[in-house]
Amino acid sequence: MTMKTLKIPDHISNISPYVAGKPIAEVEREYGIANSVKLASNENPLGPSPKALEAMGEAIAKVHRYPDEPGYELLNRIAAHLDVQPEQVVVGNGSDEILGLLSRALLQPGDEVIIPSPSFLMYTIVAQTAGAKPVVVPLKKMAIDLDTVLANVTPKTRLIFVCNPNNPTGTVVSENLFSGFLEALPPDVVVVIDEAYAEFVRDDKSAKGLGYLESKTPVVTLRTFSKAYGLAGLRVGYGIMSKDMAELLNRVRMPFNVNSVAHAGAIAALDDKDFLNKTVELVHQGLDMFYDELARRQVRFFQSQANFFLIDVAREAKQVFEQLLRQGVIVRSMQGYGYPEYIRVNVGLPQENEKFLAALDSVLGLK
């Protein structure tokens, strides 16, 4: 058999696969380096919460049993945490899986999906998987431009993605503009507000999806345990939405999609407020340190509401990325995102941040 003999739908052949940040071990092998620092995937540098680790240790002894389905304990715990009903929550194998459920439940070939750009690359894949057409709306001054998004709505528009804070720019849309935007939309469009970095937001004017559970235009809010909660490898995320929308997504969700160890880890992580506070504080201190240090060096950067930010390296980002790699620091080149001279860096531990700054100094010839 060759793939050529199969009748693969064009909309599937046309998908460019998602490229994740390289694992540390592979980069170290490839470049012959050791003790490298990964600041490329917006992960939590503190590791998982100790309470989550303990709970997962206990859960692993019971993996001969199927998980709680649909995950009553986790659903109840999330609902209590956010002051919503458990029936308004759907958990997924990462919030990525919720994106997949939205695609399967809401889209058909020919539909349009509005995707601000640059933003999270998965949104395009989600649209294309269903044969829907991604309608790309450029950012304005590094931020999602809700007016232009609105101007692109047609009778075929089914889904609109708003990444808040936006990955990779770290900007937020204001509550004010977001509520006006929702008012102006027809009721047959679903707005997905992806709040993967909500815990890090310091701008109190930022829009919050949870305020719109009852709005006439359906709003689905996405959250994840992968970033502030330090559980990226465990794969747990969730969506908060109306009960009707949750019922719809549950129709296309596979049973047992979140494993029992992940249930236990996520529940314990939600209870570990100290760990979350420590994480958020570490990120804010790290960002402020970076802003000061880069300003002192007269290197241009963009302030961010997330745990990562963009730096304008004023030369080809891919080259800077390669040179940083040789010094044992892994960041993300933004070349593939339409920013040929920017890199994205997430906050690490203080010593990791220092190592990055020293490597950047050497690569950019600053010291």
Ligand X SMILES: *Cc1c(COP(=O)(O)O)cnc(C)c1O
Interface residue list for ligand X (CB under 6 A): 42, 94-96, 120, 163, 167, 194, 196, 224, 226-227, 232, 237
Residues 247 and 152: their CA atoms lie apart, in Å, by 29
Residues 24 and 18: their CA atoms lie apart, in Å, by 18
Residue type, 64: H
Indicate the residue among 232 and 364 with the shorter CB distance to ligand X: 232
Determine the angle formed by the axes of helices 260-271 and 273-296, rounding to 10 degrees: 70
Q: How far is the CB of 41 from ligand X (least distance, A)?
A: 8
Residues 160 and 328: their CA atoms lie apart, in Å, by 38
Tokens standing for residue 122: 């998965």
Indicate the residue among 67 and 237 with the shorter CB distance to ligand X: 237
Q: How far is the CB of 258 from ligand X (least distance, A)?
A: 11
Beta bridge partners of 157: 112
Residues making up the chain, counted from first to last: 367
Q: How far is the CB of 216 from ligand X (least distance, A)?
A: 25
Q: How far is the CB of 314 from ligand X (least distance, A)?
A: 25
DSSP 174: B
Output b/e per residue, 303-324; b: 16+ Cβ within 10 A.
ebbbbbbbbbbeeebeebbebb
Residue nearest to ligand X (CB): 94
Residues 185 and 169: their CA atoms lie apart, in Å, by 25
Residue type, 296: R
Tokens standing for residue 206: 């930022």
Backbone angles phi, psi at 112, to 5 degrees: -115, 140
Q: How far is the CB of 86 from ligand X (least distance, A)?
A: 20
Q: How far is the CB of 344 from ligand X (least distance, A)?
A: 10
Q: How far is the CB of 8 from ligand X (least distance, A)?
A: 26
Indicate the residue among 227 and 263 with the shorter CB distance to ligand X: 227
Q: How far is the CB of 342 from ligand X (least distance, A)?
A: 16
Measuring CA to CA, which residue among 42, 90, 44, 73 is closest to residue 268? 73
Residue type, 41: S
Tokens standing for residue 257: 């999609």
Indicate the residue among 95 and 157 with the shorter CB distance to ligand X: 95
Indicate the residue among 82 and 232 with the shorter CB distance to ligand X: 232
Backbone angles phi, psi at 148, to 5 degrees: -70, -35
Indicate the residue among 144 and 359 with the shorter CB distance to ligand X: 144
Measuring CA to CA, which residue among 132, 91, 364, 102 is closest to residue 218? 102
Measuring CA to CA, which residue among 287, 297, 360, 362 is closest to residue 330? 360
Indicate the residue among 42 and 49 with the shorter CB distance to ligand X: 42
Q: How far is the CB of 367 from ligand X (least distance, A)?
A: 32
Indicate the residue among 163 and 268 with the shorter CB distance to ligand X: 163
Indicate the residue among 227 and 355 with the shorter CB distance to ligand X: 227
